[in-house]
Structures are given as C-alpha cells and as structure tokens.
Amino acid sequence: MKNEPATQQIKHYYEQKKLSPSKLQQLMDISQQQDEKETSLNSKDNRWFFKNKLSIAASIFFAFIIGTQMFFYLPTENNEALAERITKEIILNHQKQFNIEFQGDNINELRTHMQKLDFNLIQSSRITELGLKIIGTRYCSIQGEIAAQIKLKDNEGNSYTLYETALKENLEKLTEIEKTVNGLAVTTWSEHGVFFGLVGSKTN
C-alpha cells in the first residue's frame, strides 16, 4: 500500500467495508418477498383482467359514481384517518427492527441520551403494569414530529416497541386506539402531555 495514490487508498479503505451478513440477508429476504408478491399479483391480475373486461368497465363506472358522492360527504381529515395512519406508521417502524442508538434499562438513563427531543421522556404507568423491560432507544418520528422509539421485552422474550412524542394539537383529538393488525397489537394513549404508542405481539 506504500506510495499508493490517494484515490486508491480511499477506494481500498471503503471496499473493505461490508454490510453485516445478517443485515444483508435481511434486506435480500425483503426484496425476494416483495418480488414473489408482485409476481403472484401480476399473474393473477393478467388472468383476471382478460376474463373480466366487462366487469372491470362496470366496476370503474360504479366506483366513479360512489367516489363522486363520497367526495362531497367525507371530511378532509378525521380522527379515524389519523388513527389509521399512526397505526400503520407504528407497525411499519416496529417491523423494520431498527438498531437501537442508546442502551439503557430505565427511562432516566434514556432521557440523558435523548437530549434533542422537544419533550421529556416519561415512564408510563401502563408499561410498568405490563412488566416490560427497557432495552434501549433511538430517535424516530411520528407524523413528522420527533419521537423516541424505545425497545422493550417481556419476561418471555417477546419484543415490543414503544413510541413517545409530544402531545401536539392533532394528537390531542385522538381517542385511544386498540387494534390488532396482522397479529400485532397496537395501543395508543396519552399521559402528562406525552403521546404513547405501543406495538408488539401481545399487549395484554
């Protein structure tokens, strides 16, 4: 490597850097699943399309009529739609299984690391009741607002993700959400000016 031009030195340095095998596998798996899903949908779509041209035309016509009617009756934004978006966002973030940035086993410790939040991290009474143990945290966002994503585990080793963000005006209007989507239970609530969202395989 002696007397190697600068460009070669940098190239050599970066080319040695590789994605960890587990992360690489995870990302490869995701793309494979996506491709399989698309292939399956495309083949079904093609067959169905050719057999049902007339039905498609009729469906489009009725969808247009119904859509036009609904446009005049639906409010532009309602709590249900917001709750739906938050639920989806929380589940998606949980499924991404991001690495934690800061380790810690209690809220006080996490608070010292998460100085950039615009609210104070607090220990929710519900988390205490559920007996979930804190593993660590990282920054994230909920509906564009800065939030903390806290990793938790129960006694059986099941993973949970808790989100905490400031209870802003739009979130204040929300009633508590309790939903199960694809086997994942999502619960949201608020305490002392903080909005919480908990997702995991079971929350009761």
Partner 1 sequence: MSSGTSAEDIEILLQSGYRYALSLTHNSTRAEDILQDAWYSVLHADGPRNKPYIFRAIRSRFINQYKRDLLIPLVPLDDINEEDYSTHDTPFHHQAYNDEYLEQALSTLRTAEREALFLTAVEGYTAQEVAELTDQPRGTILSMLHRSRVKIKKYYQTIDTDTAP
Confirm or reject binding of residue 3 to partner 1 (CB under 8 A): yes
Contacts 24+ apart (CB under 8 A), 143-146: 143/82, 143/85, 143/86, 143/89, 143/170, 143/171, 146/116, 146/117, 146/118
Considering the complex, state which of residue 13 and residue 64 has its C-beta at the smaller distance from partner 1. 13
The interface with partner 1 within residues 16-55 (CB under 8 A) comprises: 16-20, 23-24, 26-28, 30-32, 34-35, 38-39
- Residue 193 DSSP SS3: coil
- Residue 72 DSSP SS3: helix
Confirm or reject binding of residue 182 to partner 1 (CB under 8 A): no
Q: Please report, as a single letter, which amino acid is at residue 168.
A: K
* Contact stretch for partner 1 (CB under 8 A) within 14-22, 62-70, 103-111, 175-183: 14-22
The interface with partner 1 within residues 100-139 (CB under 8 A) comprises: 101, 116, 139
Compute the radius of gyration of the chain from its Cα atoms: 23
* Contact stretch for partner 1 (CB under 8 A) within 11-19, 72-80, 159-167, 171-179: 11-19
Strand spans (E) along the chain:
102-103, 133-142, 145-153, 159-166, 177-181, 184-191, 194-200
Confirm or reject binding of residue 7 to partner 1 (CB under 8 A): yes
| Closest CB 166 distance from partner 1, rounded Å | 14
Instruction: With CA atoms as reference, report the closest residue to 168 among 93, 86, 49, 60.
Output: 86
Tell which one of 82, 122, 146, 185 touches partner 1 (CB under 8 A): 146
Tell which one of 44, 85, 88, 96 touches partner 1 (CB under 8 A): 96
Contact positions toward partner 1, by CB under 8 A?
Answer: 1-11, 13-20, 23-24, 26-28, 30-32, 34-35, 38-39, 96, 98-99, 101, 116, 139, 146
